[in-house]
Amino acid sequence: MHVDFELNAPDDLAGTLDLLAQGGAGVAALAGGTNLIVDMRAGRHRPQRVVALSRVQALRGIDCQGTPISIGGGTTVSDLLHAPGMASAAPSLVEAANCFAGQMVRNTATVAGNIACGSPAADLVPPLLSLDASVTLARKAGERSVPLEQYFQGYKKDVRRADELITRISWPRLPARSRNAFYKLARRSGDAITITGVAVTLCVENGLCAKARIALGAVAPVVMRAKKAEALLTGARLTPAIIGAAAREAAGECSPIDDIRASAQYRRHTVEVLTRRLVSQAWEALTQKEG
């Protein structure tokens, strides 16, 4: 298909935000292009102007030592895998990066692009939700910070204005007594679209579960938190019965669909199994450490 558009490649963030401000609804930012170019070729997206982000240094940079931990929106999946300190700053994010696409896509696909594409199967989003991440949205008139939990409004709908860029993603440092993990269930271990993705964070204080986060991918119109399940765990000394009840609650909270990869029933079942598994493993590791 022949696609006509104007391409700009500004050198800095100010120039990029200027172009986005001028472009109105017909403008699209181009990061790794692993979604955008595919969509343009298929005619699903027809921007009149494409603004390439590849030269914008302000979108790069990873800070795993600071508080909060923060990464530029232009951080690639490969960057996540190679950044010193990332494995302890965000174990679930590194696990997601490890099963993300193949090497060529990992080298260009960015974290901001994964969030902005709005897919319920976007693999980096459940880990970031489980870490209580926020995104910084910048436009010519200024910037704002939005908790990722409030970012998605519905299937492929979000709070980002057309002239805003995701410049940074940040999250609080995990406490010492915490575990954070992600599991992607797919037809193959690499280069496959997620059937069910589950990310969990557990924090323990005084022998009780002080905080629980359960984020679910590919089982609702948006990546979601299973808040009723989290509430069952929070404040409790976890037992197999409590964990089992929370896992069933998580399965009840999601709203999966049937598609070519899996049935809704199978997705719901795997939410229960994976939630139980990840929470049990986290609790076991944390309480063994306490004892």
Ligand X SMILES: Cc1cc2nc3c(=O)[nH]c(=O)nc-3n(C[C@H](O)[C@H](O)[C@H](O)COP(=O)(O)OP(=O)(O)OC[C@H]3O[C@@H](n4cnc5c(N)ncnc54)[C@H](O)[C@@H]3O)c2cc1C
The binding site for ligand X (CB under 6 A) comprises 28-36, 38, 53, 73, 100-101, 105, 108-110, 112-114, 116-117, 122-123, 165-166, 191
Q: How far apart are CA 105 and CA 110, in angstroms?
A: 9
Our CB check for ligand X shows the closer of 168 and 276 to be: 168
Name the residue with the smallest CB distance to ligand X: 113
Our CB check for ligand X shows the closer of 100 and 182 to be: 100
Q: How far apart are CA 28 and CA 38, in angstroms?
A: 13
Contact 168, 249 (CB under 8 A): no
Our CB check for ligand X shows the closer of 110 and 178 to be: 110
Shortest CB 76 distance to ligand X, Å? 7
Shortest CB 288 distance to ligand X, Å? 32
Structure token digits, residue 34: 């692993």
Q: How far apart are CA 218 and CA 228, in angstroms?
A: 18
Our CB check for ligand X shows the closer of 74 and 178 to be: 74
Our CB check for ligand X shows the closer of 94 and 247 to be: 94
Q: How far apart are CA 172 and CA 134, in angstroms?
A: 9
Mark residue 235 as left, alpha or beta (left: phi above 0; alpha: psi -120 to 50; beta: remaining): left
Contact 253, 259 (CB under 8 A): no
| DSSP 8-class letter at 183 | E
Shortest CB 48 distance to ligand X, Å? 13
Shortest CB 266 distance to ligand X, Å? 19
Report the candidate in 184, 188, 176, 90 with the shortest Cα–Cα distance to residue 133: 90
Shortest CB 235 distance to ligand X, Å? 33
Shortest CB 69 distance to ligand X, Å? 18
Report the candidate in 193, 238, 246 with the shortest Cα–Cα distance to residue 217: 193
∠55-36-197 over CA atoms, to 5°?
105
Our CB check for ligand X shows the closer of 31 and 216 to be: 31
Shortest CB 257 distance to ligand X, Å? 18
Our CB check for ligand X shows the closer of 48 and 265 to be: 48
Alpha carbon of 148 to those of 14, 68, 90, 192, 212: distances in Å?
A: 24, 15, 15, 24, 16
Amino acid sitting at position 7:
L
Shortest CB 31 distance to ligand X, Å? 3
Our CB check for ligand X shows the closer of 28 and 247 to be: 28
Q: How far apart are CA 241 and CA 148, in angstroms?
A: 31
